[in-house]
Amino acid sequence: MKRYVIIGNGIAGASAVEQIRARDKDGKITIFTKERHPFYYRPRLPEYMTGETSLDKFTMHPLSKYEQWNVDLRLGETVTAIDAAKREVSGEKSGVAPYDELLLATGSSCFVPPVTGSGKPGVFTLRILDDADAIAAAAKKAKTAILVGGGLLGLETGRALIKLGLSVEVVEFADRLLPRQIDSRGAALLQKMLAGMGFSFHLDARTKEITGEPAVDGLELADGNRIDGELLVFSAGVRPNLELARAAGLAINKAIKVDEYMRTYDLQTAVPGIWAAGDAAEFAGQPCGIWPIAMAQGKAAGASMAGELSAYVPQAPSTSLKVAGISLTSVGNIDAENKLRAKCFVSDTVYRKIVLEEDIIKGIIFLGSEKGIKECTAAMNRNRHLGALAEQLDREDFDFSRLL
């Protein structure tokens, strides 16, 4: 009977389990996770903070699912070491677990910039359910909040804090919001829409020191300005969790190097029985970082671990979500530098940008509207030559079904 060990129970690890069980009904599967709860949909944590949803509504694999799969799920347990020679991992509570196939789906952790005072009471990050509980509890005693980072989760956290009755100041290092998902023109419209909800913004800003004794009472910026706040949340991106992989001697660049089957390496040689997927993995020089890619990598890893080598097929970067209740979808090359031809439509509530190379769609941004996303993405994936249709894409009433 084959023994599988998976470290991490996010989307990559959970997807791997599904693929393993589809091919191996009898193998022993053990999952180690630092989380105290089974697999849930992390992007809904801000809604959970406000009471708009409950944990059971966004738990994707309840305990009964693990029982159905006959999985040994070890919640709240950290793996302290990997012995690649003996094919064993060591859990801090349950001791040694032998494996034939090991998946590192260790995910990532919130990055906290080296800012003086970052360890003060009242300073938080939002990554797991326990963080959401802590922020919600602190918000009950506060009236003002500071968000360091204007990324996706940061803005959603800000929306939650506004709903909880706090005023929210956003401090962003970049000169616009969501630089990976949207260009400057779209970001300006998004900022205007968010300002109408109660957000205040400090762009192209540098943090200097978190003030207050003993707890936070504000943030001093590098330009000398000060922002008052009784609660501060860092949302400045994430960094992959690489400690175990590094100690095990695996090849690491920005994350754990893997091939198309999600096999790891020791220099140029594949390490027998060790695989990686999701935020902790790097394929073809690119770390993962988004949900759809982590899912696809987890599926490839699980199938490969079960003996059916399955290649991960790279996907165009794609983000589709609600930013503080406003729909935003970006796919492929958004051409933030405006070097390519693009057809744009702009109104007070909608920004649509379709990036073209010749007459083929290479990327899209849809802000405030979801009409046409499916059709544009399908045409892009097929590299369809649009011909004269390309000239009409900036029309407000364009019939996107013509792209199919």
Distance between CA atoms of residues 164 and 159, nearest Å: 9
Q: What is the pLDDT of residue 327?
A: 92
Q: Helix (H) and strand (E) counts for the chain?
A: 10, 27
pLDDT at 153: 82
Q: Find how far residue 249's CA is from the centre of its chain.
A: 26
pLDDT in tens, 141-158: 999 999 999 888 889 999
Q: Say which residue, 258 or 322, is predicted with more confidence.
A: 258
For residue 218, what pLDDT band results from cuts at 50, 70 and 90?
Answer: very high
Interval 347-404: pLDDT, tens: 999 999 999 999 999 999 999 999 999 999 999 999 999 999 999 999 999 999 999 9
Alpha helices in 164-313 (DSSP H): 184-195, 243-247, 291-305
Task: Report helix, strand and coil shares of the chain as percent, to nearest 5.
Answer: 25, 30, 40
Residue keyed to tokens 């260790």: 106
Mean pLDDT of the chain: 94
pLDDT score at 285: 92
Joined tokens for residue 344: 């744009």
With a cut of 80, say whether residue 267 has pLDDT above it: no
Q: What is the pLDDT of residue 128?
A: 95
Identify the structural domains of the chain with CATH numbers, from first to last: 3-109+238-305 (3.50.50.60), 123-234 (3.50.50.60), 333-403 (3.30.390)
Mean pLDDT on 74-79: 98
Query: Dihedrals φ, ψ of 184, to 5°?
Result: -65, -35
Is the model's pLDDT at 129 over the cut of 90? Answer: yes
For residue 321, pLDDT beyond 80: no
pLDDT band at 132 (very low <50, low <70, confident <90, very high): very high
The DSSP output letter for 269 is: E
Q: What is the pLDDT of residue 165?
A: 96
Listed in sequence order, the residues at least 6 apart from 251 whose beta carbon sits closer than 8 Å to its beta carbon are 257, 264, 265, 266, 267, 268
The pTM score is 0.90
pLDDT at 319 over 80: no
Q: Mapped to the 3 state alphabet, what secondary structure does 164-190 carry?
A: CCCEEEEECCCCCCCCCCCCHHHHHHH
User: Three-class SS of residue 362?
Assistant: strand
Task: Give percent of the chain above pLDDT 90.
Answer: 90
* Tokens standing for residue 248: 């095990």
Name the residue among 125, 152, 129 with its Cα closest to residue 289: 152
pLDDT at 317 over 80: no
